Structure 1
Amino acid sequence: MRTTLIAAALLLPSLAMAAPDKTVTFAPAKALTRAPAHHYASPLAINIDSRTDGAWSVAGDQAQWTYSLKVNNALSLGFHAPQAMLPEGTVLTVNGIQHGENDISRTGMWSLPVEGDVLELVAVMPLNVSKQFLLNIKQVQAGFRSMQPLVVPKAQQVLKAVPGKAVLPQHDFSKPIPKHQNPDCLKNQPFIERQSRAVAVLNVMNVGGCSATIMNNSNQDETPYLLTATHCGISEGRGDISIGEYPSEAAHQGLADSAASTRAHFYDVQKCNATTGSVVGSGAMDTNTYILGAQHRAALSDTWLIELDRHISAKMHPYFSGLDAPVVVVNETHPESDNGLFSIGHSYGGQQRYAPYLSCRSEFDSISVRCFLGEDFLDAVAAGASGSGLFDHSNRVSGTINGGGDGKEDFILLSNFWTWNRGNANENISAWLFPDSPIGQAPKRLDGYDPYGAFAVATPKPTAAPTATPKPTAVPTARPTATPVPAPQNGGDSGGGSMGLGLLALGLLALRRKALN
């Protein structure tokens, strides 16, 4: 027995075998008064290092590291660990939710945020690799506002995790949305069904929730481009941006850092429920299907294009939206007509909502348009919908939501990329969506692409699975080269500080109205 303990001590990292848990205090009311509407958490600097903190124990040939953090008054908690090494055989759980390589991007590990004010970290690994394990947390994100389903509720957490058993988050929403706003209840309208599969919800740096649109490109090769709002990726002190402005070098750097920490969740719904539940196919997005990490591609004014680090799973049946970049967008028709304009976004970070517009008019010398909602849809667009697209019935996007309220929403037009004609690839989306066209000569219209089609409708009796349509073979093309942006510093605190404060102030100043998200 004595020999076994000595051997275990030599194999374990050099630290005290027990350390007290840490408790810090957070002031959510103060954070709430300073934050943009799409933020649900604030970053707090901290230093938790598995080499010096926590408690180790040994059972047979297995080593276990545990650590508990309490943040008083926090509604939810997440963390960023710039250094994270999980040797083979390691099972790391956060409040019972297994984390692994899918939660590590170029800037380190970003945990799934969990409801509550306690983080319970447990890592179980073979004893002979325990010296290789490393988790160095430099920041926790303390929640001050509910933003489901970005945060895993307590009911779905298992604080005493079973080593080796993955407990993945599911969500239960008890508050339904009206059926006329629920895209899952409108699947008989193909343009709504298609667009629903093209809309994702973004969790940026574990502090902000926005919406995004999956975009097609002229090669139709399923490159995972997402279109959203620039302010979703701008953090305080990292280069502010206002309407009608070019991003600064600092802004490009901030966007590059934010992209690396962005987690995109995708929608997988097959039927309409009166109360939208959590199971895939019953009214909410599939939180278990997500991609962490992206590359900053292009930004101009308040429009941002990113490329995910991994392709979107075919099981999500993604639809790749088309593009329309007219200089002026005017919609004076009934929203149900063929040329009616609409949006679909994840308001409050929750289930998608459909919002048709009665009319739109040009604003700010055609930099943006303002669109007006009917009485039954006044609450369909809210915090979390920033970055949602302005779509037509042909599923082409012409702008992204920048702000709004009181039944009217502002969209920054994609035509700015053509009329301003910036030569740098990181300031022109046409360089990415039309890779074979010189910047300034790219078409202004692109059709959508539906390689997988709609989800099969569930039936009471088993039926034969439909034959998948063969996917076209992608034609390799040269990728555009973006203006060099300094690489993020790995090992430091990525994007510390509250996000979007400068943008919020400038956006309010420019539009004189409340920013949505």
Structure 2
Amino acid sequence: MITATLISALCIATPAQLNERLPKDAIPAYAVDALDYALLDVEDENRVKAGLPMRFAISTNVSITPASHGIWERLENGQYRWTYRVTCENSMSMNLGFGRYSMPISGTMVIMNRDINCHIRPFTSADNKDHGELWTPIIPSNNATIEIVVDAVDKRALLRGIEITSINAGYRGFKNGEDRGGSGSCNIDVVCSQGNNWWDEIPSVGVYTLNGYLTCTGALINNTAQDGTPYFLTANHCGVTSSSDSSIVVYWNHQNSYCRAPGSGDSGGNGNGSFSQFTSGSTMRATRSYTDFTLTELSSTPNSSYEVSYSGWSRASSASVGAGIHHPSTAEKRISFPDYISASGEYWNVNWSEGTTEPGSSGSPLYDGNHRIVGQLCCGSAACGNDSNDYYGRSMYNSWTGSSGSSLGSWLDPLGTGQTTLDTYNPGALPIGACCIGTSGSCIQIREANCLAGGGTWMGADSDCTLCEPEPTCESDINGDGYTNVSDLLGIVSEWGNNGSSPADVNGDGYVGVADILAVIEGWGPC
């Protein structure tokens, strides 16, 4: 079952239409093969052993156009609507690749879930890119409905301009409800107090999908012009190439709304982060297997409302202890802290004192103590259950010079300054303020968009955490049902005379007696 909260985290309510939509069963559909979960588990174990990027979906190549598939309707206002469905009977999610996407000016496309009650934001001609493709975010359903509305004059252009070439059925991660999946319990949510000093860098890190079925982590990275060019650093082994770069979809601010205590069952379970903020498409600029880096330029600058940042970098040959920020197993953003970082050839050798990494963390940035990127995650066997090391490519030091297609210098130092360090760039220098998390009084100082994306309550620019007061407790509510009433009196009677610690000892004097009955009467009613 998909709750209302989870739906809002993954997609938005579908608007009313001029004409009532066709019944779902009346819409033609393309069904891909059912997933063999047992086989996928075996294959994924082998992928981990081979050091391959994490896979979360199975891709099927197709050729579906508004001319060859689907159903057309003429609407009351004279526009035309094309509708089609794609399904996989036992998938957890769906996403689509449009190998040809050239939307006419009047066109609007939405992709909806099975019940047609939520959709990914409308795609329009503003999403037309030079590479001519569009890859969508996930939809949390095994049944996705594509709907395009266009003016009559643009119908012919739509027939030529749209082709679905890839249907991707998800089987883990990026999902809804109980099946969404988590990461190791030793991991630390970025909204925990340990991350408080890293909020300039945290918004730069994103989890992404590639080709509709692979996933890794990466980070926006600053350049010496400090002009907000959306360069995105990740790992070479994650598979971003000149032929797959257009398929990238990066999700921003995907983090839990509150700090789950590291080591707790809550921390190892499902989070509640949103997938609603995303950027689709890129052009690869440089890559090198030697230090396992890839730099790609996103096809558009992330929406300003996402309040992303661009991490700084250091080309130094040594690095002080900083942090790693990543998305383990596609889960909500986490932060890990090493007890040492040592240089070894083309890699940084890292051992963790707090947190760890997992499949899906590949490509994530390693920061030195000055909050500058020194490399990106390549490989390793670290996990919550061991003290093994991880290895990060020393791309800033070892892959700075050379041809533009295999080095970072010409992209990250376009002004030719020769500088060896650069600090993080925050466009607009947006103010920070108190972000109240939950009802316990927990608080961190961050920017508004980052607070709201995590489900917090922002108290305004320059506000402090004294504004985040915990909700008052109701000590007279002995049984915790939200009311002080007869059942609580009965609870006192059942514990009468108890000298030990007991919820029935309302006034905390170490004895259950008349004073506690009086306290319950005083607190009578709803808490």
- Could you tell me the TM-score, scaled by structure 1's length? 0.66
Q: Which amino acid aligns with 2:258?
A: C
Aligned to 2:491: none
Change (3 A) 1:127 1:37: same
Relative contact order, higher structure (CA 8 A, sep 6+): 1
Taking the aligned partners of 2:389 and 2:224, their CA distance within structure 1 comes to 33
For residues 418-471 of structure 1, the C-alpha deviation after alignment (integer angstroms, 9 at most, x for no partner) is 4xx42x111110111111328xxx33322333342564324799977569xxxx
Taking the aligned partners of 1:317 and 1:64, their CA distance within structure 2 comes to 35
Alignment partner of 1:39 out of 30, 44, 55: 55
Change (3 A) 1:56 1:314: closer
Aligned to 1:184: 191
2:207 pairs with 1:201: yes
**Where do residues 270-349 of structure 1 align in structure 2 (5 Å cutoff)?**
272-274=258-260, 286-301=274-289, 302-329=292-319, 339-349=320-330
2:409 pairs with 1:430: yes
Change (3 A) 1:221 1:88: closer
**Where do residues 406-417 of structure 1 align in structure 2 (5 Å cutoff)?**
406=382, 407-414=388-395, 415-417=397-399
8 Å Cα contact 1:31/1:42 also seen in 2? no
Alignment partner of 1:400 out of 360, 365, 376: 376
Taking the aligned partners of 2:328 and 2:278, their CA distance within structure 1 comes to 18
Equivalent pairs: percent with the same residue?
19
Change (3 A) 1:311 1:55: closer
Aligned to 1:332: none
- Could you tell me the TM-score, scaled by structure 2's length? 0.64
2:30 pairs with 1:22: yes
Counterpart of 2:405 in 1: which secondary structure?
helix
Taking the aligned partners of 2:223 and 2:261, their CA distance within structure 1 comes to 36
Give the drift of 1:99.
3.6
Counterpart of 2:433 in 1: which secondary structure?
coil
2:420 pairs with 1:444: yes
Aligned to 1:11: none
**Where do residues 488-499 of structure 1 align in structure 2 (5 Å cutoff)?**
none
Taking the aligned partners of 1:111 and 1:465, their CA distance within structure 2 comes to 34
Q: Which amino acid aligns with 1:42?
A: I
**Where do residues 51-450 of structure 1 align in structure 2 (5 Å cutoff)?**
51-60=67-76, 61-95=78-112, 96=116, 97=119, 98-101=121-124, 104-105=128-129, 106-134=131-159, 135-144=162-171, 146-148=172-174, 153=176, 181-186=188-193, 189-190=196-197, 192-234=198-240, 255-267=241-253, 272-274=258-260, 286-301=274-289, 302-329=292-319, 339-363=320-344, 366-374=345-353, 377=355, 380-406=356-382, 407-414=388-395, 415-418=397-400, 421-422=401-402, 424-437=403-416, 442-450=418-426
Counterpart of 1:25 in 2: which secondary structure?
coil
Give the drift of 1:340.
2.1
Give the drift of 1:94.
1.6
Change (3 A) 1:464 1:347: closer
Q: Which amino acid aligns with 1:373?
A: W
Taking the aligned partners of 1:450 and 1:26, their CA distance within structure 2 comes to 45
Unaligned runs of 5+ in 1: 1-17, 156-170, 235-254, 277-282, 330-338, 468-517
Q: Which region of structure 1 is more displaced relative to structure 2, 24-33 or 387-396?
A: 24-33
8 Å Cα contact 2:338/2:351 also seen in 1? yes
Taking the aligned partners of 1:403 and 1:217, their CA distance within structure 2 comes to 26
Q: Which region of structure 1 is more displaced relative to structure 2, 192-201 or 452-461?
A: 452-461
For residues 452-498 of structure 1, the C-alpha deviation after alignment (integer angstroms, 9 at most, x for no partner) is 2564324799977569xxxxxxxxxxxxxxxxxxxxxxxxxxxxxxx
Change (3 A) 1:186 1:435: same
8 Å Cα contact 2:221/2:311 also seen in 1? yes
Aligned length: 383
8 Å Cα contact 1:198/1:213 also seen in 2? yes
Computing the radius of gyration from Cα coordinates, the structure with the larger value is: 2
For residues 408-427 of structure 1, the C-alpha deviation after alignment (integer angstroms, 9 at most, x for no partner) is 21111021114xx42x1111
Unaligned runs of 5+ in 2: 1-25, 263-270, 383-387, 442-456, 464-527
Q: Which amino acid aligns with 1:87?
A: P
For residues 148-187 of structure 1, the C-alpha deviation after alignment (integer angstroms, 9 at most, x for no partner) is 2xx5x4x7xxxxxxxxxxxxxxx99796986971111227
Counterpart of 2:415 in 1: which secondary structure?
coil
Give the drift of 1:116.
3.4
Taking the aligned partners of 1:184 and 1:350, their CA distance within structure 2 comes to 14
8 Å Cα contact 1:270/1:456 also seen in 2? no
Taking the aligned partners of 1:311 and 1:114, their CA distance within structure 2 comes to 23
For residues 5-36 of structure 1, the C-alpha deviation after alignment (integer angstroms, 9 at most, x for no partner) is xxxxxxxxxxxxx9853333144444551653
Give the drift of 1:219.
1.9
Note the aligned Cα RMSD (angstroms): 3.4
For residues 104-137 of structure 1, the C-alpha deviation after alignment (integer angstroms, 9 at most, x for no partner) is 5424221222233322222233444333323321
Taking the aligned partners of 1:80 and 1:258, their CA distance within structure 2 comes to 11
